[in-house]
Amino acid sequence: MRFAPGMRKFVLLTHITTSVGWLGAVFAYLALDITATTGQDVETVRAAYVAMAIMVSYVIVPLAMASAVIGVVNALGTPWGLLRHYWILVKLLLTVFAATVLLIETSTVHHLADTATSGIDPRELPGTLLHSIGGSVVLLLIMVLSVYKPRGVTRHGWRRQQEQRRQQGKQQPTPA
């Protein structure tokens, strides 16, 4: 499937917007997580946990899902393809990994927010810093791959290149 140029740019713009939005939301979440785990004021820590739960449910998860789906659509609609180049395959695997960890971690974030508002001292809660930092690093790595596009085609990509070269060779007239 190939997109018309206008549609291809729209899909690319949507993918960039959701991906960068996901990264930005994770950075904002990281700031809340740092506040929740290092803060000394009980009400500030409590508010940080509540904000983390809201951020995860209404911003991070929707952006992650949209970015993943639109990224696949984008790859399928461009000459890059989804499985032809290692950098795209690695991006896909990292995105699936990050989204899976995010979905698993969502229940923990909601549990922390519920616990923080239950009347106990929220400063004793563990936070989710490891996941926040790890998610940030994974998303930054995905962005680096998107910009630098390291060389290397997969076996599938190599076969497709050979097939295209054979097709081009058959279409060219023989010199007289």
CATH of the domain at 29: 1.20.120
pLDDT tens track for 94-127:
999 999 999 999 999 999 999 999 989 999 999 9
For residue 92, pLDDT over 90 is answered with yes
Q: What is the pTM of this model?
A: 0.88
pLDDT value at residue 27: 98
Q: Is residue 9 part of a domain?
A: yes
Q: Is residue 14 part of a domain?
A: yes
Q: Is residue 51 part of a domain?
A: yes
Look at residues 13, 128, 8 and name the one whose alpha carbon lies nearest to residue 60.
128
Q: Is residue 147 part of a domain?
A: yes
Bridge partner residues of 153 (DSSP): 85
Domain range for 73: 5-171
Say if residues 116 and 50 touch (Cβ distance below 8 Å): yes
Q: Is residue 77 part of a domain?
A: yes
Q: Is residue 176 part of a domain?
A: no
The pLDDT mean for the chain works out to 93
Look at residues 123, 114, 147, 124 and name the one whose alpha carbon lies nearest to residue 19.
147
Residues with Cβ within 8 Å of 112's Cβ and at least 6 positions away in sequence, in order, are 36, 49, 52, 53, 125, 126, 127, 128
